[in-house]
């Protein structure tokens, strides 16, 4: 995004009273276009303070999201803010009920249950830049629930609504991909795609190819709850990407959190030059033992290595803000024209693979390799 475009988007700002103006359809998607947003949990207020003036914003996740959204909106009238209630963790979409809806029988008041439109409108009333339609998990194999979700969403006359599709990763592989793309292309609302996998779905070469194809072929698609691959998605046509820091925020896993060491509170940090992640103590103990990590140029690190963080509350936050700054720097460096953006990402991958080659020679550890997803991008593009 050029500085001029950034200023224009910032000036549009957030003004709920203007929703519904017929001359400005789907302003919400324009407020986040080309941007990397950050998924946040209880650290949302600190991350928001750090993002002030950056032009980008936050996706709030979990049961507290609605309340956090209201409070953040009061403080940051112009920041892109979206709340994801994560209903897909506990609800699987069916043909008849693709969305997790409140059950009328559960309502003690006897009032009719909220409709899909009312659920979306409530989020917009709280100040959401885009309202998330609460689709359940899309299990492998049967496209029926996805078809009904798109059809039901298309019936809504509301604007600034998005369909979050929490799909099993197998939907982006092989013969399922074409069907998945054909269905989501029929959505009249932006479609955000999150992948369910017990590990990293994009470590699979076929899935990564599908991920790339999805964003190349579906207008206004958003990479939801992802990692550095969100930059690759935007470079290949995604309207925006939502990047998380903890493993639980950068993937979905309907079988539960797959963190190998949930009791270890060290921050998971992104190492920009090698394009890899690790808990800071793990990186110190096993990775940067003989050759130190390259210094990070972000505002918080000021040249210090990103594996230095301890497990104190201040260091955990500082580690996460280092991640924010690393991805802000990358998203600002990406060129805005489509060909330039793709070439920027190709060079970013190539440079990371070369940096790993150098590191492995210097550290005399010939078995080190780039992450599998980085190798997959390399094989796709270079
Ligand atoms: Zn840093």
Domain assignment of residue 346, given as a range: 268-381
259 lies in some domain: no
Same domain, 66 and 133: yes
CATH number at residue 171: 3.20.20
Query: What average pLDDT does the structure give for the chain?
Result: 90
In a domain, 258, yes or no: no
pLDDT at 96: 97
Ligand 1 centre from 56 Cα, in Å? 18
Alpha helices in the chain (DSSP H): 3-12, 27-32, 44-51, 65-75, 116-125, 144-155, 174-184, 205-217, 229-235, 280-282, 313-333, 338-362, 372-381
Q: What span, in angstroms and rounded, lies between the C-alpha atoms of 187 and 189?
A: 5
Residues 199 and 319 grouped into a single domain: no
pLDDT tens, residue by residue, 302-350: 999 999 999 999 999 999 999 999 999 999 999 999 999 999 999 999 9
**69-78 mean pLDDT:** 97
Ligand 1 centroid from CA 270, angstroms: 9
How confident is the model at residue 106, as a pLDDT? 57
CA nearest 40: which of 249, 184, 233, 196?
249
Our count of domains for the chain comes to 2
Q: pTM here? A: 0.91
List the structure tokens of 16.
Answer: 């709920």
Which protein residues have their CB within 5 A of the ion that is ligand 1? 296, 298, 301, 322
Look up residue 359 and give its two tokens. Answer: 């590191």
Measured in Å, residue 292 CA sits from the centre of ligand 1 at 15
pLDDT at 18: 35
Paired residues of 310 in beta bridges: none
Q: How far apart are CA 356 and CA 159, in angstroms?
A: 45
Decide if 309 contacts 269 (C-beta within 8 A): yes
Q: Is 346 exposed, middle or buried (0-12, 13-18, 19+ CB in 10 A)?
A: middle
The mean pLDDT value for 279-307 works out to 95
CA–centroid distance, residue 192 to ligand 1 (Å): 28
């Amino acid at each position: 995004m050029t500085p001029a475009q950034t200023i224009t988007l910032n000036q549009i700002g957030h003004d709920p009273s203007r929703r519904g103006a017929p001359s400005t359809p789907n302003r919400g998607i324009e407020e986040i276009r080309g941007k990397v947003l950050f998924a946040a949990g209880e650290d949302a207020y600190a991350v928001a303070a750090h993002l002030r003036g950056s032009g980008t914003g936050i996706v709030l996740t979990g049961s507290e999201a609605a309340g956090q959204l209201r409070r953040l909106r009061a403080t940051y009238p112009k920041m892109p803010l979206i709340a994801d209630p994560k209903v897909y963790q506990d609800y699987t979409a069916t043909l008849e009920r693709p969305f997790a809806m409140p059950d009328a029988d559960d309502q003690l008041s006897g009032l009719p249950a909220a409709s899909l439109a009312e659920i979306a409108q409530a989020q917009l009333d709280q100040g959401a830049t885009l309202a998330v339609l609460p689709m359940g998990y899309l299990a492998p194999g049967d496209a029926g629930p996805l078809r009904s979700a798109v059809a039901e969403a298309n019936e809504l006359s509301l604007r600034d609504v998005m369909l979050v599709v929490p799909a099993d990763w197998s939907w982006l592989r092989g013969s399922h991909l074409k069907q998945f793309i054909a269905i989501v292309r029929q959505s009249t609302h932006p479609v955000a795609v999150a992948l369910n996998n017990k590990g990293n779905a994009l470590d699979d070469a076929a899935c990564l190819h599908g991920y790339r194809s999805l964003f190349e072929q579906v207008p206004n698609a958003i990479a939801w709850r992802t990692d550095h691959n969100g930059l690759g998605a935007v470079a290949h046509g995604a309207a925006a990407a939502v990047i998380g820091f903890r493993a639980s925020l950068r993937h979905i896993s309907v079988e539960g959190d797959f963190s190998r060491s949930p009791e270890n509170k060290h921050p998971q940090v992104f190492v920009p030059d090698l394009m890899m992640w690790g808990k800071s103590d793990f990186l110190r103990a096993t990775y940067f033992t003989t050759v130190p990590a390259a210094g990070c140029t972000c505002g918080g690190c000021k040249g210090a290595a990103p594996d230095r963080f301890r497990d104190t509350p201040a260091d955990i936050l500082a580690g996460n803000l280092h991640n924010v700054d690393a991805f802000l720097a990358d998203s600002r460096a990406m060129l805005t024209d489509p060909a330039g953006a793709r070439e920027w990402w190709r060079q970013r991958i190539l440079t990371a693979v070369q940096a790993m080659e150098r590191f492995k020679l210097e550290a005399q550890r010939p078995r080190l390799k780039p992450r599998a997803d980085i190798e997959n991008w390399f094989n796709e593009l270079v």
